[in-house]
Structures are given as C-alpha cells and as structure tokens.
Structure 1
Amino acid sequence: MRKKVKISSSLLLVFMFVILELSLFFFYKDMKPTQNFIYYTAGVLVLIYLLNILLIKISPKADRYLNLIVSMLFSIGTFEILRLDETSGFRQIIWISIGIIVFYLAIFILTAMKNKFNKMFFIVLSLIYILFIITLVLGKTKYGARNWIRLGPIRFQPGEFIKILYIFLQAIYYKNYKRYASIKFGPEIFTLISYSFIMFFFLQKDLGSAVIIYGMMMFSEFVFEKKKYLKYVNLLLAVVMSVVSYYLFSHVRVRVLSFINPWDYMDGIGLQITQSLFAISSGGFVGTGIGLGLPNTIPVATSDFIFSAICEEMGTLVGIAVIMLFIMLISRMFKISLKSNDTFYKVLSFNCAVLFSIQSLLILGGVLKLIPLTGVTLPFVAYGGTSILASFIVLAMVQLSSIEGEVDG
C-alpha cells in the first residue's frame, strides 16, 4: 500500500512538471496561445499515465521508477521539439504513442518466448547479418552515414535494431557460456563476430554505433568473460584500430579535426559544435526562456543537438537535471542486473544499461566538445521515430529482466 502511494505521488509530481512546462509556452515571445498546445500537453499526460499505470497492473515486480524517469525525459524533449517545430513535435508525440504500444507488445512477446531464447543464437546472428547486408545494398546516406532504409513513406535505421539484437546475442552466449566455450576457440570466434559488426558499421560510416558495439563487447568481457587475455587484447586492438581508422577513413579525420579546433572550421565541419557551444553559453544557468533563444541556428537541433537547445532556453540547470535523470535511469538498470539470478536476464539488463550509458556519453560529450561527435541521439529526448521505438524496446527488455530475472536459472 505504501509503495502504491509513493508511485501515485511520483506520478503526480511528473504531471505537475509537464503542466509547468506548458505554462512556460504562454510566456513565449510573440506567441498567441492556441488550443493545440493544450491538446499536446493532454496527449503527453495521457502517454505518461499509460506508460506507468498499465505497467503496475501487468506486473507488481516491474520497476516502476524506470518508467517515471523515462516519462520525465520524453516530456522535456517533446516540449523543446514543439517549440522548435510544431509539426515535428506532433510527430514526436505520435512516435512516443507507438513506442509505448511497442513497449507493452515487446514485454508480451518476449515473455511468451522466454523459454526459446537459448536455441536462437544462430537465428539472431543471421538476422543481424541480413540487416547489415540490406543496409549496405539499399541504404541511403543522410548526414554522411549510409544507415537509412526507405520503404515508401517510411524511413528507419536498421542499426538501432542491430544493437538490440546484439544485446540478445550476448545474453544467449553468456547464458550458454560453458557450451560455447567448450568449442575450440569459441570465445575468440564470438569476439571476431563482434568485430565483424564493428567493421560493418564503419563501412556505413556510422561511427557512433561502431563505438557502442565495441563498448558493449568490452564491458561484457570484463564482467562475464573467463578468458582474461581477451580483455587486454581487445583494449590494445582498440588503440590500434583508432589510429588506423584515422588514416584510412576520411570521415573519421573530419570528426577529429572538428573536435580538436572547430573554431578554424566554423563555416564548414566545425559549424555544428561551435553553434552548440554558443547556444549553451548564451543560455547560462537558468536559460534565456522558452522562445527567447535562437536554438534554430544549431544544425539538426531537434535530434543530435536537442541537449544544446534545452540548455539554451531552459538553462544548464535543466541540462544538469537531464543528466541526473539519465544517471538514475542507468543506475536502476545496473541494479536490476545485479539482482538477477538468471544469467540471461543479468547480461540482458547489463548491456541495456551499457547501451544507454555509452549512447548518452557520446552525444552529451559530443555537444559539450569533450569528445568528437559520433552522430548518435539522446534516448527518449531527441526527435526520431526509429530511436524512440528502439529506446522503448530496450526499456521493455530491462522491465522483462526485472519481472523474470529473479527466477533462479
């Protein structure tokens, strides 16, 4: 009963936060308040309610706070996108609606398949290679990366789903580690398979996804792999590959040059990062105010640089709040992994946490000029249908681990 009261109070707090965000729009410079924003806010409130209340009814063992944190994240992102472009904001609400449906469908489907995962290693592996081949053959180039597929009016990034499949592949592998390790050079072969995925992403010029796959491979090996030498060999290979990639791939050199000194390339490759830094600095601690900044001067402000736009108009105060929300989200994912008695769900939730950790670090570090830009998006916050759907599937995987993971196995 006490837990239910806590959840209700937390949900009420999220509702109040969303209503506060709406109120800021009425101070929008030269804005005539319209009913549309009332409808959008009502839509966001309904989505938050569905994401949190239905989960409580489905399973008492699910981690309710994960969904509350996600609700805060997508509400901040949605309102900033609405301010930047009302049409994109409306589409984002539609994608979040679809994402929530996919979230519950994923929990239902994955629960029904929970006894079949052990036999699906080669099926999952085949699906990954099929998606890579389709992307290389039919892929369209956008923002320098050949990682988009167009099917009529629908565009999506197969790479987002490849990362999810890779998480399943690792969970199946480590769940059956003794069987695969008994094969001659079994762990080495699995490592080579992971490197093949990294090379495919390099061929697509999708540096962010390549780094994420490498990160998930390395962290999993440090925690679950029993052959210690593999960890150190892969660390050495990372250094070698980074140097070789710089000289072999021009798009890698471009990212590094724009990171080292973007001010020399403000009219070209350094435009994104310089505009991002200008926006964040002009916002200060409390921001310029909704509608009073110039976030539209930042290239792709609704997706890759949404964090910069948030910091400019809502201030570094809200920017820090977003970072803290991600820290809470990821720490709860790791906590679920630690509590799990089933190796499959332990590895599954662990790699979901690693995925969000690396993805968040890459994009936040990129827009703050701490590391080179890699072209990934901020989960649940940035605009993008594929990113939203993939993020909700990952959330479903973690919730499944919370529900099923305490069963001994």
Structure 2
Amino acid sequence: MATPVQGAVGPAAGQSSVGADGAAPTRRGTELLLLGFAAFVVSGALMLVEANQEQTLSLRIFWYGVAFLGLFGAAHMAVRKWAPYADPLILPCVALLNGLGLVMIYRIDLALTEKALRAGREINNDVPKQILWTAIALVLFLVVLVVIKDHRMLTKYSYTFGLVGLFLLALPAFLPSFIAPTINGAKIWLKVGPFSLQPGEFAKILLLIFFAAFLVSKRDLFMAAGRRVLGVDLPRARDLGPILFAWAISLGVLVFQKDLGTSLLFFGTILVMLYVATERGIWVIVGLALFIGGCLIAFKLFTHVQQRVANWVDPLATYADIGGGYQIAQALFGLGTGGVGGTGLGAGRPELVPLANTDFIAAAIGEELGFIGLAALLMVYTVLALRGMRSALAVRDTFGKLLGGGLSFLLVMQVFVVVGGVTKLIPMTGITAPFLSYGGSSLLANYILVALLLRISDAARRPQTGSRPRPVPQAPIAEAHTVMVERPT
C-alpha cells in the first residue's frame, strides 16, 4: 500500500522576520532621528533661557548647541559601529536628559553671574566644565563599547571587580581630611588640587557586576528553603552571607561616610537583584527588616542622621539652623511657585535654592517647567529604565539578565531617591540626578552604565547565526511530486 506525501507549504516554522536584504534591522536611523529631536529641544530651551534672562540671543548658545550635536553625533557613530543592534531609544533618552541638564545649569549660571556682578565678584560658569565632563564621559563610553565586545566576559573578573569596588567605596573614610574632605556632611569625595572625584559612583557599578556573577553561580543555594516559620519558608542561615555582607557594607557607608544615599542605593539594588535571581519574596522581607534595623541603630547613635530626619519631618522648624531645613524648604517654595505649568524657562528664581545645579536640580526644573515638565522628565527616565529592563529580559544568558536588570533598577532607584528627597517624600540623601546634575563623577559612572546597557541590548537584539538550518525552497503544491512510501504491515 502506498500513501502520497505532498511537499510542505509556506516558510519554515520559527523563521525570524528579517529585512528585504536578508539582514535584521538595526534601527540606527530611528536613533539618529530621535537624537536630532533631542538636539532641537535642547537648542530651543537654550534660546528660551537666554531670551527670558538677557532679552537677547548670544553666540554662546550656538557653540553650546554645536558641542551637543558633535558629542552625541560621535556617540551615535560609535554605537552604529560597535553595537549596531542596540536599542534605538536608550542613547536618545540619555542625550535629552544630559541636554536638559546643560540647559538648567546654564540658566543657573546666568542668574549667579548677574548676582556676582552686582556684588563686584567674578564667578566661573559651570556649563563649559559640564560639556568637558560630558566629552570625557563619552570617551569612556566609547572605550567600554570597544573593549567589552561581549558582556559575559565580565564574569571572568567578577571577584576582582568586587574587591576594587569595596576598596573605592571605603577609600574616602580612611584618608585624611585634606584629601577626603567632608562636604555637605558626607565624606565621599577625593580632592587633589582643582580636581575632585567621588569613587563611590564607580564602586556601585563594579559591585553590581560582582553580585550579578555571584548570584548566577550560587543561584541554587539561595533558592533552597530553610525552616518554615508561621507558614513562611525562611532562607537557610548559611545562605544569608551575601545579604548580610551587603547590609554590613551599606551600614558602614552610612556610619563612616555619613552618606545615606549611597547606602540606600547599594542595598536596595542588591536586594532587587537577589529577588530577581531567586523569585523568593522572603529575601525582600529579610532585607527590608535588616535595613530598617540598621537605620534605627544609626538614628540612635549618630547626630547627623537625626538632623536629616528632623529636616525631613519639619524643615521649617530647623529653617534657621546650620545644616537645617533651609535647603528643603526653599526647594518646596520653588516647586510651589512653579505649580502645574511652571514659571517658564529663565523666568523663575531657582538660584535661591542652595546647590540648585547639583543635588536640587529637580527642584529648579519643577519651578520653571512646573509639574507637567517634571513629570515629562520622569517619563524620559522611565522609558530609559524600561528599555534597559526589556533588553535584560530579552538577552539569552542569566548573567546578562541580572546585570541589565540591576543597572536599570539602579537608574530608577537614583531618580526615586533624588526626587523623593526634593519633594520631602523621604529624607534628603545628597544623591545627584543621573545625567542632569552638574558633576564629573556622576556623568562618568552613568555613561559606563549606559554603555553596558547598550552592550547587553546589542546581544539581546542581535540575530542568532548558525542556530537554525536555512529553509529549503519548496515547489508549489500543484507542481510537487508524489512520493510513494510503503506502509509497514
């Protein structure tokens, strides 16, 4: 008995969608178009600031615009060459945030310059220095893209990264005050001559790489349950080492460096990575209990923590005190003045808030762009973090998933801590807004973070080669030959 078997019809199952030329789309054209839009927004904002402040337009904003276009044009070319399949929204979001930060720093420069001229003093503008820091950061961004061709190679040096990260994090606490001065109540800076650096910014990324690699290698241990108490499977005592280690480091930073922000960022990010790796909510409960306990101990023992909490609870009660609530109160006054629509770029008084171009830049933006502008800015951060999370979910290796998720959450956590402190949702921590605030260390570290996200995104979106056989073209069903197959009896 013979049965006719017809040729297959249609494409092979699971065939991926590619372009007409057989290559997967890289979407670099979309990235370039969005970068052009970011440059248009930044240039328009610079013109509005200068028109409202000086009633005229100077040649400075032209050169600032050219510098912005040149820097991010070069960054686009680097991504096109070394990470062609990277997510097309990540770099434009970063460029827009960085550009709006330059706009606000320039606006505060104009106000401070006018104030200094009235007092007969000179002042050095921060915008040229911020542009220089952006250029250096983009060079570092390029180096990371060129050197790290595969994010998985970082696992080979994970313990080295961990040791270097710990060294950088602890370094300011053990150096004399002329090298590591206490600035705004925190001992987190290294100062040599005119240059200053915050090593903790780089330590966070290095420790994140170490914990991602460590959790991948020990994942099964953390998923094992210990004793069951009140219906909850507690982790085994011997598996608590990493979270106790992270807790001890964060508490040490809080105690010795008086830096609540870095402590909160570090511990929160490690806690989320541990939850993502194990999918066990008990780790979050244990971690939060440890952190709350550490904060209560620090509040009882250290006056600077008590001062931060007092400023948070009622900034007006400590308004006139040294280190009191003056800064937070002024920020709240500015946000109240801005209201929903804002006073307009260049039409407010953000310079009345101390450190308006660094720790309190979100308050300056909220005053001049209002609730709508600040919400739009937070949406850009949200899109940036979501695209990073999406890349982390799509990448094929567990280390890339953990590292990409950790880096994306670190951005979210920084924004939450910054905006939460400015709006009095949480105590002020002294953390700077990523890409917005003035400062070299933050820019350098965050551009390394973005380069790693782009590398993970490139790996996630790059089409697989050699994993599937090429489909053989089939004849139309009318022309297909009938094959006689003998049925076994």
**Cα separation, 1, equivalents of 2:373 and 2:151:** 40
Q: Does 1:43 align with 2:95?
A: no
Answer whether contact 1:282 1:312 (CA < 8 A) is retained: yes
- Equivalent position amino acid for 1:94 in 2: L
Deviation at 1:186?
6.2
**Which piece of structure 1 moves more, 190-199 or 269-278?**
190-199
What TM-score results when the alignment is normalised by the length of structure 2? 0.78
**Which piece of structure 1 moves more, 87-96 or 55-64?**
55-64
Closer, same or farther in 2 for the Cα pair 1:128/1:6, shift >3 Å? Answer: closer
Deviation at 1:112?
6.7
Residues 4-403 of structure 1: matches in 2 within 5 Å?
Answer: 4-85=28-109, 87-111=125-149, 114-115=152-153, 117-138=154-175, 139-177=180-218, 187-202=239-254, 203-225=256-278, 229-268=282-321, 269-403=324-458
Match of 2:115 in 1: none
**Cα separation, 2, equivalents of 1:287 and 1:38:** 26
**Cα separation, 2, equivalents of 1:327 and 1:228:** 24
Closer, same or farther in 2 for the Cα pair 1:378/1:197, shift >3 Å? Answer: same
Give the share of equivalent positions with the same residue, in percent. Answer: 28
Closer, same or farther in 2 for the Cα pair 1:181/1:358, shift >3 Å? Answer: closer
- Equivalent position amino acid for 2:104 in 1: E
Answer whether contact 2:141 2:448 (CA < 8 A) is retained: yes
Deviation at 1:406?
6.5
Answer whether contact 1:334 1:353 (CA < 8 A) is retained: yes
> How many residues in Structure 1 have an aligned counterpart in Structure 2?
407
Deviation at 1:23?
2.3
**Cα separation, 2, equivalents of 1:402 and 1:262:** 43
- Equivalent position amino acid for 2:202 in 1: F
- Equivalent position amino acid for 2:218 in 1: Y
Deviation at 1:376?
0.4
**Which piece of structure 1 moves more, 360-369 or 79-88?**
79-88
- Equivalent position amino acid for 1:350 in 2: G
* SS state at 2:191 partner: strand
**Cα separation, 2, equivalents of 1:113 and 1:228:** 28
Deviation at 1:99?
0.9
**Which piece of structure 1 moves more, 124-133 or 383-392?**
124-133
**Cα separation, 2, equivalents of 1:226 and 1:309:** 39
Deviation at 1:180?
7.5
**Which piece of structure 1 moves more, 361-370 or 227-236?**
227-236
Structure 2: gaps (5+ residues) = 1-18, 20-24, 111-124, 224-235, 465-489
Answer whether contact 2:152 2:400 (CA < 8 A) is retained: no
Deviation at 1:166?
1.2
Answer whether contact 2:45 2:345 (CA < 8 A) is retained: no
- Equivalent position amino acid for 1:61 in 2: Y
Closer, same or farther in 2 for the Cα pair 1:5/1:405, shift >3 Å? Answer: closer
Deviation at 1:349?
0.7
- Equivalent position amino acid for 2:307 in 1: V
Closer, same or farther in 2 for the Cα pair 1:304/1:133, shift >3 Å? Answer: closer
**Cα separation, 2, equivalents of 1:263 and 1:89:** 32
What TM-score results when the alignment is normalised by the length of structure 1? 0.92
Closer, same or farther in 2 for the Cα pair 1:263/1:4, shift >3 Å? Answer: same
Deviations 1:265-311 (A, max 9, x none): 22231111110011111123332233321111101000001111112
Deviation at 1:204?
0.5
* SS state at 1:120 partner: helix
**Cα separation, 2, equivalents of 1:26 and 1:225:** 52
**Cα separation, 1, equivalents of 2:52 and 2:281:** 57
Answer whether contact 1:174 1:343 (CA < 8 A) is retained: no
**Cα separation, 2, equivalents of 1:180 and 1:92:** 46
Closer, same or farther in 2 for the Cα pair 1:130/1:270, shift >3 Å? Answer: same
Instruction: Compare the two structures and name the one with the higher helix fraction.
Output: 1
- Equivalent position amino acid for 1:248 in 2: L
**Cα separation, 2, equivalents of 1:178 and 1:359:** 26
* SS state at 1:111 partner: coil
Answer whether contact 2:145 2:452 (CA < 8 A) is retained: yes
* SS state at 2:188 partner: strand
Deviation at 1:26?
4.0
Deviation at 1:195?
2.0
Which protein has the larger Cα radius of gyration, Structure 1 or Structure 2? 2
* SS state at 1:195 partner: helix
**Which piece of structure 1 moves more, 191-200 or 2-11?**
2-11
**Cα separation, 2, equivalents of 1:97 and 1:277:** 33
Deviation at 1:146?
0.4
- Equivalent position amino acid for 1:148 in 2: W
- Equivalent position amino acid for 2:314 in 1: N
**Cα separation, 1, equivalents of 2:152 and 2:244:** 27
Closer, same or farther in 2 for the Cα pair 1:343/1:405, shift >3 Å? Answer: farther
* SS state at 2:391 partner: helix
Closer, same or farther in 2 for the Cα pair 1:298/1:390, shift >3 Å? Answer: same
Closer, same or farther in 2 for the Cα pair 1:205/1:158, shift >3 Å? Answer: same
**Cα separation, 1, equivalents of 2:212 and 2:406:** 8
Closer, same or farther in 2 for the Cα pair 1:23/1:129, shift >3 Å? Answer: closer
Answer whether contact 2:389 2:408 (CA < 8 A) is retained: yes
